[in-house]
Amino acid sequence: MHEWALAEGVVVSALDEMKKNGGTRLKKIRMRVGELQRLEMDAFSKGLEAAFYSHRPATDSVEVETVTEAAALRCRACGKEWLFRDSLETLSEERAEFVHFVPEAARAFLRCPACGSPDFEAVRGRGVWLDSLEAE
């Protein structure tokens, strides 16, 4: 499962980072999850549990904090950057909901607020990162 692989990746990179700094017990990790990263949080949490379990004892009790990173879009025509959620406010509720669940559909409905071009890209808001960690 995609979520499990991501969770394992986060835990392994946290442990690498911890070891580089001489730590032996992971106490806390803080992750950033992009708003456009469609992550099944339930599956991701279970994946984290499994990853922590398989890397004991360094991961006996780890606190996990997740922050959502707001997605930003950039117009390829004029360079304007804006927040994805600001765009959603300009759409009808029905369309906003659709775009929220299918970000790829954004292109069909959204336009650059500065020049009206439909040619834009996501510059932030995808992926899962390890933001910081605490260890001892």
- Report the interface residues with Zn ion, using CB under 5 A: 75, 77-78, 80, 112, 114-115, 117
As measured in angstroms, the least distance from the Cβ of 53 to Zn ion is: 48
Instruction: Name which of 70 and 78 has its Cβ closer to Zn ion.
Output: 78
Instruction: Name which of 61 and 117 has its Cβ closer to Zn ion.
Output: 117
Length of the chain counted residue by residue: 136
Amino acid in the structure at residue 102: V
**What is the per-residue DSSP string for 8-23?**
HHHHHHHHHHHHHTT-
As measured in angstroms, the least distance from the Cβ of 37 to Zn ion is: 25
Q: What's phi and psi for 79, nearest 5 deg?
A: 85, 0
My answer on whether omega of the bond before 118 falls inside 30° of 0, hence cis, is no
Beta bridge partners of 26: 135
Instruction: Name which of 16 and 81 has its Cβ closer to Zn ion.
Output: 81
Instruction: Name which of 30 and 111 has its Cβ closer to Zn ion.
Output: 111
As measured in angstroms, the least distance from the Cβ of 78 to Zn ion is: 3
Residue whose pair of structure tokens reads 């969770």 in the numeric block:
7
As measured in angstroms, the least distance from the Cβ of 7 to Zn ion is: 37
